[in-house]
Structure 1
Amino acid sequence: MNEFRDSNEQDWPQLEAMKEQINQIVVPSTVEERIRNGMRVGRQRRRRRTVTRFASYTACLLLLIMVASVRFSPVVAAYVGDLPGLRSLVELINDDKGLELAIENDFMQPVGLSEEHDGIKVTVDGVLADESRVIVFYTLTNMDGRKRVVNLQKVDLATKEQMSISHGSSDFSEEWVSKQGTVDFNFHNGAEVPDILRLELKVGKDEKAVAGLPFWQFAIPIDKAKFEGLKETYAINKTVTVEGQRITFGTMTVYPTRIGLEVAYDPANTKKLFYFDDIRIEDEHGETFGTINNGVSGSTIDENRQILYFQSNYFRKPDRLYLRANSIRALDKNKLEIQVDPDQKKLLSSPDGHLTLIDVGTSKEDGQRILVFKLTNDNPLDEHRQYNILDMRFKDASGKSFESGMTGSSGDEFQYFIKKAKYQSPLTLTIVDYPTRIEGDIKLRMK
């Protein structure tokens, strides 16, 4: 990468001019309407489940916003400009400075594999990879221009490594020419990144539409020599107490594409700690590297231990690192379950007055019952947050376990779908996130 910079110093004025032109782009008035439509449709779509409780979901809204407001550094722009198919994908990682740094440091592996069926072409443009993670960049192209909703569906690997997968839909428009996205493969428990990533996927409107279709297959070569040995490990092993709740931060591993930090919660804590609102890593210059927003933000080890993932500063090589946090969403352990009688349309127990049951309906499509909750919440920290409040698993009065296949949200309302079956009321549902908090000033020296 240094060679690239030295040989192109004369091009910096042009790059700066290019950046200025990009900054002056006027966002079309239709984008706002597309965002609203994407939000409305996306909230009703089936939320994909992954192995980890903390897997994040790529929302169509976020991708539309990124497409409308791409602002990337001249260094990254110049680098990917010479890689076919990758220049337009920079916007997909624009909110992750660790991935931008990886690209600046020549970490992208171009691929360029394509398959075409029924007028739709899928191109695997390139990958970013290290020992814990592979991010696949892809492009969908509508070759015959037909009006149809098309996105990736049923994404998996032919070889069943221990991993989780995060991907999403870029939009649900019927009129489109091409669109880009990423698939994030996260390897767990010592599972090795393979030499050949044997990607399987289906392409269509939704999972039901592609049920009988064959998988599209891509054999993606991974140059493991490019990242061999590129990680740094630090033993933190420090405990903090916030409002009586003990939290221990264990080993921190810095990879080129992300940072993994082990966190353990004292089993004797009186509260269940869900998520940190503002946890971040800060260097000696005050530059912060936050959690992963567009991908997998964490993984569960067991009931009281997890790994949190942060944007990587591997290529920054800071002299000092600090862990900072001020607010944690948490709830008393004796308030983690709620009871609902769907026949009587009553919420029999709730953690507080903010969560109420406002309706019990039935889906015309498949006859599922829909529990509609309202969560009243005026905390500024939650202004733009959509809560996935409840675990997908629930029990009936006999103690038998069932599983919901779908949830949805719209504004302050949350929908929970109950498959058709014989249940004994009331149903017991478990809270997995809630907008009540504990607060404190965490600042730990980590390097």
Structure 2
Amino acid sequence: MHENHEDNEQEWPELTAMKGHVDEITIPSEVKLAVANGMSLGRKRKRRRMMARITTFSACLLVLASVASVRFSPVVAAYVGDIPGLRSLVQLINSDKGLTLALENNYMQPVGLSDEHDGIKLTVDGFLADESRVIVFYTLYNMDGRKQAVNLQEVKLMNNEETSVAFGSSYFNEDWESKQGTIDFNIHEGADIPDTLDLELKVGKDRETAGNGPVWKYVIPVDKSKFEGLKETYDINETVSIEGQCITFGTMTVYPTRIGLEVTYDPSNTKELFAFDDIRIEDEQGETFGTINNGISATLIDENRQVLYFQSNYFRQPNQLYLRANSIRALDKSKLEVLVDLDRKELLSQPDDRLTFDQAGITQKDGHNTLTFHLKNDDPLDENRTYSLFENSYSDATGQLYDSNGSGGTSDGNVYQYIKKADYQSPLKLTISDYPSRIHGDINLRIK
């Protein structure tokens, strides 16, 4: 990923300022919190565990928005070279094979609409769309050279409420001329994309700063003829058992921008299955298309069903397709609760002795009341991975429910849970939403 670093800085100077501020793989806690604060879901989820997962997945948007030292194919370069603003923007999706293939097949719809307020201009450069997803590419310009952090806030489509949205955010406390990024709209099943995208958003360091500020507005025309009917559906309907845990793979739908795979977890499973480590779709040539890591990676259907999203091979048209996986992060359902005694500053229950609690108790970090945990983890599968361990909701000994102010983690194993200021009765009860324990087995299903 980092080859030809100096050449790229000369070729795309507008992205140079974006480099180095965020590590490509390790996401610090303050970044995760910024992304969590920037996330907006179009409808409420039945389980807050999925909401936490979606927030974590969406943090990868920020990572991609900071990576400028990549190359894209000559085909893509030739296509976007004539569209202002898109040449460098294409790097934001370079790690997604499906989106790169979409560009190679003339799938981008250029826009070029701008709005400006208080010395900040935002240009919508173009978008990719199909019946399930819209990815908007934008550029922010610092017109008067002000020194401040600027992030997108309150992003929404005014004429389509049946969407969820993910977008990155960043903290650049120095001179900057332009920033580029993507907004990923997830279209709920059965909802139609309108003839125009009536996009509204605010710009500011945080929601409070942007709250009373102006609204950036765009009416973006959509050529639906470019994507209507472009999908392929496969009914897999097969159940596998991994260490006694049953998983059923249902319908898989291949769109130009992504693949959606319905997955059902047996309610009688003794373990909570958090996430697949390496699930992928593979063709007869051995080329793999992994899960989406720069946008929304999953949506919840109900308590035991979800749709996983993969990079799309729609424009490849393979002769054979296989679904493969080898390990799944999972934990006994009896070990999901973590009890924190705030008076004695210790854990009364935890999944295992790898998770410990900071003896400082409730501290201040990044302006938040914070519980700090440490997770000892030397599994090679988790190299450079950070964990947001807990669901958004928690309770105290009285049964009072609270919503957390976010969570985060660092590569050295520290895990932060940001909690509200309150007169808690110990112990606090938190629920695990992801953990580095696993079940292993070979999944190998023929799809096509």
**TM-score (norm: length of structure 1):** 0.90
Equivalent AA in structure 1 for residue 282 of structure 2: E
Contact 2:28 2:409 in 1 (8 A): no
Partner Cα distance (1:60, 1:306) in 2: 21
The alpha-carbon distance between structure 1 residues 346 and 160, as it changes in their structure 2 partners (threshold 3 A), is farther
Residue 227 of structure 2 aligns with which residue?
Answer: 227
Q: Does residue 438 of the first structure (1) align with residue 420 of the second (2)?
A: no
What SS does the corresponding residue of 2:103 show, helix, strand or coil? helix
Residue 136 of structure 1 aligns with which residue?
Answer: 136
Contact 1:60 1:170 in 2 (8 A): no
Residue 34 of structure 1 aligns with which residue?
Answer: 21
Deviations 1:409-445 (A, max 9, x none): 2231011112112332211111110000000111100
Shift of 1:217: 1.3
Deviations 1:385-409 (A, max 9, x none): 1111100101222222110012222
Equivalences for residues 2-401 of structure 1 within 5 A: 25=7, 34-35=21-22, 39=28, 41-43=30-32, 45=34, 47-48=36-37, 49-51=39-41, 53=51, 54-55=53-54, 56-59=57-60, 62-63=63-64, 66-67=67-68, 69-358=69-358, 359-363=360-364, 368-401=368-401
Shift of 1:160: 4.8
Deviations 1:344-393 (A, max 9, x none): 31211001001111132333876x53110000000111111111110010
**TM-score (norm: length of structure 2):** 0.89
Partner Cα distance (1:31, 1:128) in 2: 23
Shift of 1:216: 1.3
Equivalent AA in structure 2 for residue 400 of structure 1: Q
Contact 1:46 1:405 in 2 (8 A): no
Shift of 1:260: 0.2
Deviates more, 1:258-267 or 1:405-414: 405-414
Equivalent AA in structure 1 for residue 7 of structure 2: I
Partner Cα distance (1:79, 1:26) in 2: 19
Deviates more, 1:163-172 or 1:76-85: 163-172
Select the structure of larger CA radius of gyration.
Answer: 1
The alpha-carbon distance between structure 1 residues 364 and 64, as it changes in their structure 2 partners (threshold 3 A), is closer
Deviates more, 1:99-108 or 1:56-65: 56-65
Shift of 1:173: 3.5
Partner Cα distance (1:166, 1:232) in 2: 25
Contact 1:39 1:60 in 2 (8 A): no
The alpha-carbon distance between structure 1 residues 81 and 46, as it changes in their structure 2 partners (threshold 3 A), is closer
Contact 2:374 2:415 in 1 (8 A): yes
Contact 2:256 2:314 in 1 (8 A): yes
Shift of 1:247: 0.6
Partner Cα distance (1:171, 1:71) in 2: 25
Contact 1:197 1:219 in 2 (8 A): yes
Partner Cα distance (1:357, 1:31) in 2: 35
Partner Cα distance (2:29, 2:440) in 1: 33
The alpha-carbon distance between structure 1 residues 230 and 38, as it changes in their structure 2 partners (threshold 3 A), is closer
Residue 8 of structure 1 aligns with which residue?
Answer: none
Contact 1:275 1:330 in 2 (8 A): yes
The alpha-carbon distance between structure 1 residues 417 and 183, as it changes in their structure 2 partners (threshold 3 A), is same
Shift of 1:341: 1.8
The alpha-carbon distance between structure 1 residues 60 and 191, as it changes in their structure 2 partners (threshold 3 A), is closer
What SS does the corresponding residue of 1:90 show, helix, strand or coil? helix
Partner Cα distance (2:18, 2:200) in 1: 32
Partner Cα distance (2:192, 2:8) in 1: 45
Contact 2:121 2:141 in 1 (8 A): yes
The alpha-carbon distance between structure 1 residues 50 and 355, as it changes in their structure 2 partners (threshold 3 A), is farther
Partner Cα distance (2:416, 2:234) in 1: 42
The alpha-carbon distance between structure 1 residues 396 and 261, as it changes in their structure 2 partners (threshold 3 A), is same
Residue 14 of structure 1 aligns with which residue?
Answer: none
What SS does the corresponding residue of 1:312 show, helix, strand or coil? coil
Equivalent AA in structure 2 for residue 374 of structure 1: H
What SS does the corresponding residue of 2:58 show, helix, strand or coil? coil
Contact 2:158 2:199 in 1 (8 A): yes
The alpha-carbon distance between structure 1 residues 217 and 162, as it changes in their structure 2 partners (threshold 3 A), is same
Residue 15 of structure 1 aligns with which residue?
Answer: none
Structure 1 stretches of 5 or more lacking a match? 1-20
Contact 2:276 2:328 in 1 (8 A): yes
Equivalent AA in structure 1 for residue 67 of structure 2: M
Partner Cα distance (1:387, 1:38) in 2: 10
Partner Cα distance (1:412, 1:58) in 2: 18
Deviates more, 1:339-348 or 1:220-229: 339-348
Query: How many residue pairs get matched?
Result: 425
Residue 11 of structure 1 aligns with which residue?
Answer: none
Deviations 1:70-124 (A, max 9, x none): 1110000110001121111110000001000001111100011100111110000
Shift of 1:233: 0.5
Contact 1:280 1:290 in 2 (8 A): yes
The alpha-carbon distance between structure 1 residues 436 and 395, as it changes in their structure 2 partners (threshold 3 A), is same
What SS does the corresponding residue of 1:66 show, helix, strand or coil? coil
Root-mean-square deviation over aligned CA pairs: 2.3
The alpha-carbon distance between structure 1 residues 32 and 90, as it changes in their structure 2 partners (threshold 3 A), is closer
What SS does the corresponding residue of 1:186 show, helix, strand or coil? strand
Partner Cα distance (1:66, 1:365) in 2: 25
Contact 2:387 2:435 in 1 (8 A): yes
Partner Cα distance (1:402, 1:303) in 2: 21
Contact 1:132 1:188 in 2 (8 A): yes
Partner Cα distance (1:295, 1:334) in 2: 32
The alpha-carbon distance between structure 1 residues 39 and 293, as it changes in their structure 2 partners (threshold 3 A), is same
Shift of 1:214: 2.9
The alpha-carbon distance between structure 1 residues 183 and 330, as it changes in their structure 2 partners (threshold 3 A), is same
Structure 2 stretches of 5 or more lacking a match? 11-15, 42-49
Contact 1:337 1:430 in 2 (8 A): yes
Contact 1:282 1:289 in 2 (8 A): yes
